């Protein structure tokens, strides 16, 4: 570690900051005007790299490369406008959660479309014509192209700045960012403005992606990594602030570069390799900023947060019919091991469904009655699973002890993360929970010595008699039923009421002596605990656990399960999780393009069945009753 090494890494950091800045600036602009967090923005960036690759290789030469970059940015801008026009325009008034999910569906669809068009291989573009060489700095070689990237980001920032300050369009964008009602009052064609902003934001993402073509290979994982980073940048910089986005992109990139520059350090007799903690460091920066300045470095407080959905009906205890149905279903499930002789797969599916139910019910607990849209529920699943698996791996603990450790690990994580999360609301809460989940994921991924890194932990099989899948199925069934009933019981108890009171009207709740933050914090912890049980059961069911099973994907699966069933009822998550798990294990395994299929299901849900399956059935029953 020396000064020249630092400076070199710092320059490197600046050049990677530029790509990040383009995506984040676009994301921020779009959010400022339309109040939509476009999770698919990373996908537009990824498309940018792929399209630029094709243009650079097919046309070739200076024009193919440099002209290709400009053409790519324009094409992606057009695509963005089309997405806004066809899809997002319909959901501006929908609850925030639905908007997030709809754009997430786009990620899935764009990813599969890219797979279909370009195939699964990584594609490295040609080097930039005219900038093939490198200059020597402190005895190391820095590519000229990297220097170009360092310069281009502030130039674009400056152009954007001038554009926003001097043009009519810019004034409208600023006015809309500050006060949306005003734009309507001015008689501006709001629809046009939104489409234009979406096009501009997408243009920036496409440009950022295209510029990377000479630097890193285009690959299918870019969308999620880039959006993760861009989220961090936007949240750190402040939603809606472009200068903030640049500042934050530089800070984040520099912190990462610093970690790499520091390298391995020996402390207290332990050697710690900082370059392995870049992911963790990034999210720690975000968490720290959010705690000190909840609206980011240059952001302003956002107005009131819209609700998850329409207000729900008062909770009523289960009707005799529902109780009867529950007993019948339970009876049928208990009988399932009898069928196992003829088709053993049924039990495996059954276990998957049960675990999904427990996972979804715990997420629903905080999302529905608590009103906290966690986008990182996988964290507690992962903590539970790893808590159990690591105990088996390192201490050869018996299954009973490991299954006890699972909820405890998850509870501790939820207590820690929840304490911060309940201080925020709406999209900020969603992003912070996502960031925490990424921290858990990154820690597991990068702490190879303890967790086995990307290989995960294997050999976590249940001992006899649970090695028999019928017996294990019964255990899972039992714990799931206990977990779901306990959550239900809590929701009907004073604590559950207090949680809903805090969601319905924090003002009123505080005015009758309820400590809303603390109630929501404990609710968060309870959900984490139950989710940890699901994680522990999962580890033993699969015999292993790896980082990829506890990633963003699982968090989103949970959200889809809850919304699929319907967020407003207690049976919703159970039905949703069952349907989703069965779909996933059957239809989705059949096709290579299951992501796109899932994306279409989500879009259908958001647009056509906002109340979910159970909500839909209830509405149908109601209509049927009034008709007869």
Partner 1 sequence: MTDLSIRSLAKAFGGVRAVNDVSFEVARGEFLAMIGPNGAGKSTCFNMINGQLRPDSGEIWFERANLAGLAPREIWRLGVGRTFQVAATFGSMTVVENVQMALISHAGETYRLWKPAASRYRARALELLEQVGMKDAADRASRELAYGDVKRVELAMALANDPRLLLMDEPTAGMAPRERNALIALVKRLVVEKGISVLFTEHSMDVVFAHADRIIVLARGRLIADGDARTIREHPKVQEVYFGTGKTFARVEPKPLEPQP
Residues that bind partner 1 (CB under 8 A): 304, 311-315, 317, 489-490, 492-498, 500-501, 503-505, 507-515, 519, 522
The residue among 317 and 320 lying less far from partner 1, judged by its C-beta, is 317
Nearest distance, CB of residue 505 and partner 1, angstroms = 4
Residue 26 tokens, joined? 């676009």
Q: What is the DSSP string of 483-505?
A: HHHHHHHHHHSHHHHHHHHHHH-
Quote the CA–CA distance of 60 and 66 in Å, as a whole number. Answer: 10
The residue among 276 and 503 lying less far from partner 1, judged by its C-beta, is 503
Residue 3 tokens, joined? 């000064």
Nearest distance, CB of residue 408 and partner 1, angstroms = 18
Q: Are the CB atoms for 1 and 261 separated by under 8 Å?
A: yes
Quote the CA–CA distance of 496 and 487 in Å, as a whole number. Answer: 9
Nearest distance, CB of residue 99 and partner 1, angstroms = 22
In this structure, the strands spanning 134-137 and 140-143 are: antiparallel
The residue among 230 and 516 lying less far from partner 1, judged by its C-beta, is 516
> How many residues does this entry show for the chain?
628
Nearest distance, CB of residue 176 and partner 1, angstroms = 19
Beta bridge partners of 272: 265
Among residues 29, 22, 24, which one has the least CA distance to residue 173? 29
The residue among 118 and 497 lying less far from partner 1, judged by its C-beta, is 497
Tell me the H-state helices in 66-215: 68-86, 96-118, 144-166, 168-178, 180-186, 190-211
Q: What is the DSSP string of 34-103?
A: H----TTHHHHHHHHHHHHHHHHHHT-HHIIIIIHHHHHHHHHHHHHHHHHHHTGGGGTTS-HHHHHHHH
Q: What is the CA radius of gyration of the chain?
A: 25
Q: Are the CB atoms for 456 and 544 separated by under 8 Å?
A: yes
The residue among 274 and 495 lying less far from partner 1, judged by its C-beta, is 495
The residue among 509 and 611 lying less far from partner 1, judged by its C-beta, is 509
The residue among 309 and 545 lying less far from partner 1, judged by its C-beta, is 309
Nearest distance, CB of residue 518 and partner 1, angstroms = 9
Nearest distance, CB of residue 436 and partner 1, angstroms = 25
In this structure, the strands spanning 544-545 and 264-267 are: unpaired
The residue among 90 and 622 lying less far from partner 1, judged by its C-beta, is 622
Place of tokens 């709001």: 190
The residue among 516 and 556 lying less far from partner 1, judged by its C-beta, is 516
Nearest distance, CB of residue 308 and partner 1, angstroms = 11
The residue among 426 and 551 lying less far from partner 1, judged by its C-beta, is 426
Quote the CA–CA distance of 382 and 451 in Å, as a whole number. Answer: 12
Nearest distance, CB of residue 626 and partner 1, angstroms = 16
Nearest distance, CB of residue 569 and partner 1, angstroms = 12
Among residues 302, 171, 298, 198, which one has the least CA distance to residue 246? 298
Nearest distance, CB of residue 422 and partner 1, angstroms = 15
Dihedral, 569, 571, 576, 579 alpha carbons, nearest 10: -150
């Amino acid at each position: 570690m020396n000064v020249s090494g630092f400076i070199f890494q710092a320059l490197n950091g600046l050049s990677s900051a530029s790509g990040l800045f383009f995506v984040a600036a676009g994301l921020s602009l779009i959010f400022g005007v339309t109040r939509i967090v476009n999770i698919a923005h990373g996908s537009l960036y990824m498309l940018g790299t792929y399209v630029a690759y094709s243009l650079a290789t097919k046309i070739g030469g200076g024009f193919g490369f440099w002209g290709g970059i400009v053409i790519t940015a324009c094409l992606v801008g057009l695509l963005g406008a089309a997405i806004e026009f066809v899809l997002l325009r319909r959901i501006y008034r929908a609850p925030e959660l639905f908007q997030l999910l709809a754009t997430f569906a786009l990620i899935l669809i764009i990813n599969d479309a890219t797979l279909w068009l370009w195939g699964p291989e990584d594609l490295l573009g040609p080097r930039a014509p005219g900038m093939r060489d490198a200059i020597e700095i402190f005895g190391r070689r820095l590519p000229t192209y990297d220097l170009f990237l360092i310069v281009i980001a502030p130039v674009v920032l400056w152009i954007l700045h001038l554009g926003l300050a001097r043009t009519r369009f810019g004034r409208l964008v600023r006015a809309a960012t500050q006060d949306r009602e005003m734009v309507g009052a001015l008689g501006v064609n709001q629809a046009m403005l939104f489409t234009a902003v979406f096009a501009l934001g997408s243009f920036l993402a496409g440009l950022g992606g295209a510029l990377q073509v000479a630097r890193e290979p285009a690959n299918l994982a870019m969308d999620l990594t880039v959006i993760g980073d861009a989220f961090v940048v936007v949240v750190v910089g402040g939603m809606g602030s472009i200068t903030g986005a640049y500042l934050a992109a530089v800070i984040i990139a520099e912190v990462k570069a610093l970690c790499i520059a520091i390298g391995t350090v020996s402390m207290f007799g332990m050697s710690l390799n900082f370059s392995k903690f870049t992911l963790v460091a990034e999210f720690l920066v975000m968490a720290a900023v959010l705690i000190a300045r909840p609206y980011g470095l240059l952001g302003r407080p956002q107005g009131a947060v819209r609700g998850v959905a329409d207000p729900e009906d008062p909770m009523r205890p289960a009707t005799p019919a529902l109780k009867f149905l529950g007993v019948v279903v339970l009876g049928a499930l208990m009988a399932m091991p009898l069928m196992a002789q003829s088709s053993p797969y049924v039990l495996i599916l059954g276990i998957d469904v049960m675990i999904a139910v427990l996972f979804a019910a715990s997420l629903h607990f905080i999302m529905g009655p608590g009103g906290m849209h966690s986008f990182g529920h996988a964290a507690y699943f992962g903590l539970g699973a790893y808590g159990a698996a690591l105990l088996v791996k390192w201490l050869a603990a018996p299954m009973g002890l490991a299954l006890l450790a699972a909820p405890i690990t998850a509870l501790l994580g939820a207590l820690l993360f929840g304490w911060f999360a309940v201080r925020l609301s709406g999209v900020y809460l969603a992003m912070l929970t996502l960031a925490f989940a990424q921290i858990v994921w990154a820690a597991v991924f990068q702490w190879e010595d303890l967790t086995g890194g990307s290989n995960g932990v294997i050999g976590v099989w249940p001992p006899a008699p649970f090695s028999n899948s019928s017996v294990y199925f019964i255990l899972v069934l039992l714990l799931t039923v206990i977990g779901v009933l306990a959550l239900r019981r809590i929701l009907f108890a004073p604590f559950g009421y207090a949680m809903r009171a805090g969601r319905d009207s924090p003002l009123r709740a505080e005015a009758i002596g309820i400590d809303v933050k603390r109630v929501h914090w404990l609710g968060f912890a309870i959900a984490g605990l139950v989710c940890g049980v699901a994680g522990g059961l999962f580890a033993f069911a699969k015999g292993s656990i790896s980082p990829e099973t506890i990633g963003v994907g699982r968090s989103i699966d949970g959200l889809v399960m809850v919304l699929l069933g319907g967020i407003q009822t207690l049976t919703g998550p159970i039905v949703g999780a069952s349907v989703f798990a069965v779909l996933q294990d059957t239809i989705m395994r059949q096709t290579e393009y299951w992501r796109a299929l899932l994306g279409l299901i989500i879009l259908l849900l958001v647009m056509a069945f906002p109340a979910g399956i159970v909500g839909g059935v209830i509405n149908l029953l109601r209509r049927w009753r009034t008709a007869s």
